[in-house]
Amino acid sequence: MSDNLLALVIIIVGAALTISGVIVLRRWRLGFRPLRGFAALTTLAGEAIESDRTVHVALGDAGVGRESTLTALAGSELLGFLAERAAIGERSPLATMSDPLGLAVAQDTLRATFARAEAPERYDSGAAVWVPGGPSSLAYGAGAANFAADRDASANVIVGRFGPEMAFIAEMGARRELVQIAGSDLVEGQAVAYVMTDMPLLGEEMFVGAAYLEKDPVQRGGVLAQDVLRYVMIALIVVGVVIATLTN
Protein backbone atom coordinates (compact mmCIF):
# COMPACT_ATOMS: atom_id res chain seq x y z
CA MET A 1 0.00 0.00 0.00
CA SER A 2 1.43 3.39 -0.95
CA ASP A 3 1.90 6.12 1.67
CA ASN A 4 -0.83 8.27 0.10
CA LEU A 5 -3.36 5.45 0.16
CA LEU A 6 -2.42 4.64 3.75
CA ALA A 7 -3.02 8.30 4.67
CA LEU A 8 -6.47 8.15 3.06
CA VAL A 9 -7.31 4.94 4.94
CA ILE A 10 -6.23 6.50 8.26
CA ILE A 11 -8.38 9.58 7.57
CA ILE A 12 -11.40 7.40 6.75
CA VAL A 13 -10.83 5.33 9.91
CA GLY A 14 -10.49 8.59 11.88
CA ALA A 15 -13.80 9.86 10.48
CA ALA A 16 -15.54 6.54 11.23
CA LEU A 17 -14.17 6.53 14.78
CA THR A 18 -15.27 10.15 15.31
CA ILE A 19 -18.83 9.26 14.32
CA SER A 20 -18.67 6.15 16.53
CA GLY A 21 -17.35 8.35 19.35
CA VAL A 22 -20.35 10.67 19.03
CA ILE A 23 -22.71 7.68 19.28
CA VAL A 24 -20.84 6.22 22.26
CA LEU A 25 -20.84 9.55 24.10
CA ARG A 26 -24.59 9.94 23.52
CA ARG A 27 -25.22 6.57 25.17
CA TRP A 28 -22.65 6.60 27.92
CA ARG A 29 -21.24 9.37 30.05
CA LEU A 30 -17.51 9.33 29.67
CA GLY A 31 -15.39 11.93 31.39
CA PHE A 32 -12.17 13.30 29.93
CA ARG A 33 -9.08 13.82 32.02
CA PRO A 34 -8.90 17.40 33.25
CA LEU A 35 -6.59 19.79 31.41
CA ARG A 36 -5.65 22.76 33.58
CA GLY A 37 -5.00 25.01 30.61
CA PHE A 38 -8.52 24.80 29.24
CA ALA A 39 -10.10 24.87 32.70
CA ALA A 40 -8.30 28.16 33.37
CA LEU A 41 -9.32 29.84 30.11
CA THR A 42 -12.81 30.83 31.28
CA THR A 43 -11.43 32.22 34.54
CA LEU A 44 -8.70 34.26 32.91
CA ALA A 45 -11.16 35.66 30.36
CA GLY A 46 -13.39 36.78 33.25
CA GLU A 47 -10.47 38.26 35.17
CA ALA A 48 -9.36 40.22 32.11
CA ILE A 49 -12.85 41.78 31.80
CA GLU A 50 -12.99 42.62 35.51
CA SER A 51 -9.58 44.26 35.49
CA ASP A 52 -10.23 45.98 32.13
CA ARG A 53 -7.20 44.35 30.57
CA THR A 54 -6.67 42.27 27.49
CA VAL A 55 -5.62 38.66 26.95
CA HIS A 56 -2.72 38.13 24.58
CA VAL A 57 -3.22 35.22 22.18
CA ALA A 58 0.00 34.36 20.32
CA LEU A 59 -0.47 32.19 17.25
CA GLY A 60 3.17 32.11 16.16
CA ASP A 61 3.99 30.96 12.67
CA ALA A 62 0.82 28.91 12.20
CA GLY A 63 -1.08 29.80 9.05
CA VAL A 64 -3.60 28.26 6.71
CA GLY A 65 -2.47 26.84 3.37
CA ARG A 66 0.58 25.11 4.85
CA GLU A 67 1.23 22.07 7.03
CA SER A 68 0.44 24.23 10.06
CA THR A 69 -3.15 24.84 8.87
CA LEU A 70 -4.76 22.68 11.56
CA THR A 71 -2.58 24.28 14.23
CA ALA A 72 -3.80 27.69 13.05
CA LEU A 73 -7.40 26.47 13.32
CA ALA A 74 -6.78 25.14 16.84
CA GLY A 75 -5.35 28.52 17.84
CA SER A 76 -8.20 30.44 16.24
CA GLU A 77 -10.71 28.31 18.20
CA LEU A 78 -9.17 29.51 21.45
CA LEU A 79 -9.04 33.08 20.14
CA GLY A 80 -12.74 32.85 19.23
CA PHE A 81 -13.59 31.47 22.68
CA LEU A 82 -11.77 34.34 24.41
CA ALA A 83 -13.24 36.95 22.06
CA GLU A 84 -16.75 35.65 22.77
CA ARG A 85 -16.24 36.30 26.47
CA ALA A 86 -14.43 39.59 25.86
CA ALA A 87 -17.43 40.82 23.84
CA ILE A 88 -19.21 41.70 27.10
CA GLY A 89 -16.22 43.75 28.29
CA GLU A 90 -14.37 46.71 26.89
CA ARG A 91 -11.28 45.15 25.39
CA SER A 92 -10.79 42.71 22.55
CA PRO A 93 -8.12 40.03 22.95
CA LEU A 94 -4.81 40.95 21.35
CA ALA A 95 -3.71 38.41 18.73
CA THR A 96 -0.16 38.32 17.35
CA MET A 97 1.19 36.09 14.62
CA SER A 98 4.04 35.93 12.12
CA ASP A 99 2.20 34.23 9.26
CA PRO A 100 0.25 36.69 7.08
CA LEU A 101 -2.53 34.17 6.48
CA GLY A 102 -2.69 33.65 10.24
CA LEU A 103 -3.45 37.39 10.38
CA ALA A 104 -6.42 36.91 8.05
CA VAL A 105 -7.71 34.00 10.16
CA ALA A 106 -7.34 35.95 13.42
CA GLN A 107 -9.00 39.10 12.05
CA ASP A 108 -11.88 37.08 10.64
CA THR A 109 -12.28 35.15 13.90
CA LEU A 110 -12.47 38.38 15.90
CA ARG A 111 -14.79 40.08 13.41
CA ALA A 112 -17.16 37.09 13.23
CA THR A 113 -17.21 36.64 17.00
CA PHE A 114 -18.09 40.28 17.69
CA ALA A 115 -20.73 40.14 14.93
CA ARG A 116 -22.33 37.06 16.52
CA ALA A 117 -22.27 38.83 19.88
CA GLU A 118 -24.20 41.69 18.20
CA ALA A 119 -21.37 44.10 18.87
CA PRO A 120 -19.75 44.49 15.43
CA GLU A 121 -18.73 48.07 16.27
CA ARG A 122 -16.41 46.68 18.95
CA TYR A 123 -14.28 44.85 16.40
CA ASP A 124 -10.90 46.48 16.03
CA SER A 125 -8.74 45.31 13.13
CA GLY A 126 -5.70 46.53 15.08
CA ALA A 127 -6.36 43.87 17.74
CA ALA A 128 -4.74 41.35 15.40
CA VAL A 129 -1.12 42.31 14.77
CA TRP A 130 1.22 40.83 12.22
CA VAL A 131 4.78 40.68 13.51
CA PRO A 132 7.05 39.42 10.71
CA GLY A 133 9.22 36.61 11.97
CA GLY A 134 12.35 36.53 9.87
CA PRO A 135 14.32 33.35 9.22
CA SER A 136 14.20 32.00 12.77
CA SER A 137 11.08 33.77 14.14
CA LEU A 138 13.09 35.23 17.01
CA ALA A 139 12.12 38.73 15.90
CA TYR A 140 8.47 37.64 16.14
CA GLY A 141 8.97 36.40 19.70
CA ALA A 142 10.58 39.67 20.79
CA GLY A 143 7.99 41.79 18.94
CA ALA A 144 4.96 39.89 20.25
CA ALA A 145 6.27 40.09 23.82
CA ASN A 146 6.72 43.84 23.39
CA PHE A 147 3.16 44.29 22.08
CA ALA A 148 1.66 42.26 24.93
CA ALA A 149 3.63 44.24 27.50
CA ASP A 150 2.69 47.60 25.97
CA ARG A 151 -1.01 46.69 25.92
CA ASP A 152 -0.82 45.54 29.53
CA ALA A 153 -2.04 41.99 28.87
CA SER A 154 -3.30 40.08 31.90
CA ALA A 155 -2.59 36.62 30.47
CA ASN A 156 -0.66 34.93 27.68
CA VAL A 157 -2.34 32.19 25.66
CA ILE A 158 0.48 30.94 23.42
CA VAL A 159 -0.99 28.35 21.07
CA GLY A 160 0.29 27.78 17.57
CA ARG A 161 3.59 27.07 15.83
CA PHE A 162 6.51 28.08 18.00
CA GLY A 163 10.12 27.09 18.32
CA PRO A 164 12.51 28.52 20.90
CA GLU A 165 11.14 32.04 20.23
CA MET A 166 8.30 31.18 22.61
CA ALA A 167 10.84 31.89 25.38
CA PHE A 168 10.64 35.66 24.71
CA ILE A 169 6.88 35.80 25.15
CA ALA A 170 6.89 33.46 28.15
CA GLU A 171 9.74 35.37 29.81
CA MET A 172 7.81 38.63 29.51
CA GLY A 173 4.79 36.86 31.03
CA ALA A 174 6.85 35.40 33.88
CA ARG A 175 8.35 38.79 34.75
CA ARG A 176 4.89 40.33 34.89
CA GLU A 177 3.48 37.29 36.72
CA LEU A 178 0.86 36.66 34.04
CA VAL A 179 -1.21 33.51 33.84
CA GLN A 180 0.30 31.58 30.93
CA ILE A 181 -1.06 28.72 28.85
CA ALA A 182 1.26 27.47 26.12
CA GLY A 183 1.35 24.79 23.46
CA SER A 184 3.14 24.32 20.15
CA ASP A 185 3.12 21.82 17.33
CA LEU A 186 6.93 21.87 17.35
CA VAL A 187 8.70 19.89 20.05
CA GLU A 188 11.17 22.72 20.71
CA GLY A 189 8.25 24.97 21.56
CA GLN A 190 6.72 22.31 23.79
CA ALA A 191 9.97 22.02 25.74
CA VAL A 192 9.98 25.79 26.31
CA ALA A 193 6.29 25.68 27.29
CA TYR A 194 6.97 22.96 29.86
CA VAL A 195 9.80 24.90 31.49
CA MET A 196 8.44 28.42 31.32
CA THR A 197 4.68 28.24 31.85
CA ASP A 198 2.33 26.96 34.52
CA MET A 199 -0.07 25.27 32.17
CA PRO A 200 1.67 23.69 29.19
CA LEU A 201 -0.38 21.93 26.52
CA LEU A 202 1.73 19.00 25.42
CA GLY A 203 1.39 16.84 22.32
CA GLU A 204 -2.15 16.59 20.99
CA GLU A 205 -3.67 18.52 23.91
CA MET A 206 -3.52 21.69 21.84
CA PHE A 207 -6.04 20.27 19.36
CA VAL A 208 -8.79 19.33 21.83
CA GLY A 209 -9.67 22.83 23.04
CA ALA A 210 -13.06 22.91 21.34
CA ALA A 211 -14.09 19.59 22.92
CA TYR A 212 -13.21 20.83 26.41
CA LEU A 213 -14.58 24.34 26.04
CA GLU A 214 -17.69 23.93 23.91
CA LYS A 215 -18.74 20.38 24.89
CA ASP A 216 -19.89 19.86 21.33
CA PRO A 217 -20.70 16.14 20.70
CA VAL A 218 -18.69 15.93 17.47
CA GLN A 219 -15.70 17.59 19.07
CA ARG A 220 -15.90 15.22 22.03
CA GLY A 221 -16.37 12.27 19.70
CA GLY A 222 -13.16 13.36 17.96
CA VAL A 223 -11.28 13.26 21.26
CA LEU A 224 -12.56 9.73 21.89
CA ALA A 225 -11.51 8.71 18.37
CA GLN A 226 -8.10 10.22 19.02
CA ASP A 227 -7.70 8.14 22.20
CA VAL A 228 -8.80 4.93 20.45
CA LEU A 229 -6.35 5.57 17.60
CA ARG A 230 -3.60 6.21 20.11
CA TYR A 231 -4.18 2.86 21.81
CA VAL A 232 -4.27 1.15 18.40
CA MET A 233 -0.93 2.79 17.57
CA ILE A 234 0.57 1.68 20.90
CA ALA A 235 -0.64 -1.88 20.29
CA LEU A 236 0.84 -1.85 16.77
CA ILE A 237 4.18 -0.55 18.06
CA VAL A 238 4.32 -3.21 20.81
CA VAL A 239 3.41 -5.97 18.34
CA GLY A 240 6.01 -4.63 15.88
CA VAL A 241 8.71 -4.59 18.59
CA VAL A 242 7.87 -8.17 19.65
CA ILE A 243 7.91 -9.43 16.04
CA ALA A 244 11.19 -7.59 15.27
CA THR A 245 12.79 -8.96 18.46
CA LEU A 246 11.69 -12.53 17.79
CA THR A 247 12.72 -12.53 14.12
CA ASN A 248 16.17 -11.09 14.94
Partner 1 sequence: MRRFRFPLGVSVTIAVGLVTLLGLTLGGPLLGTIAGVFINLALATAAMAVLAGVANLFIVHMRRVGSGARGWFYSLALVISMFGVIGARIFELTQAGDDHPALGSGAITGPLFTVLQLSIEGALSGLMAFFLIFAAARMMRRRVSAGAVLFIGVVILVLLGWQPLPLVGDVFGGVRDWIVNVPAAGGLRGILIGMALGALTVGVRVLVGRDQPYRG
Q: Name the helix (H) or strand (E) containing 181.
A: strand 179-184
Q: What is the total residue count of the chain?
A: 248
Under rule CB under 8 A, residue 43 binds partner 1: no
Q: How many residues bind partner 1 (CB under 8 A)?
A: 77
Q: Which of 63, 93, 160, 189 binds partner 1 (CB under 8 A)?
A: 63
Q: By CB under 8 A, what part of segment 150-179 binds partner 1? A: 150, 164, 167-168, 170-171, 174
The answer to whether the CB of 207 falls within 8 A of the CB of 37 is: no
Q: Which of 40, 128, 153, 179 binds partner 1 (CB under 8 A)?
A: 128
**Segment contacting partner 1 (CB under 8 A): 43-51, 52-60, 106-114, 154-162?**
106-114
Under rule CB under 8 A, residue 198 binds partner 1: yes
Q: Which of 23, 30, 187, 235 binds partner 1 (CB under 8 A)?
A: 187
Under rule CB under 8 A, residue 18 binds partner 1: yes
Under rule CB under 8 A, residue 42 binds partner 1: no
Q: By CB under 8 A, what part of segment 20-39 binds partner 1? A: none
Q: Give the CA dihedral 95, 96, 102, 108, nearest 10 degrees.
A: 30
Geometric angle at alpha carbon 235, from 232 and 236, rounded to 5°: 85
The answer to whether the CB of 203 falls within 8 A of the CB of 179 is: no
Amino acid identity, position 120: P
Q: Which of 52, 194, 239, 243 binds partner 1 (CB under 8 A)?
A: 194
In whole angstroms, give the CA distance from residue 38 to residue 22.
21
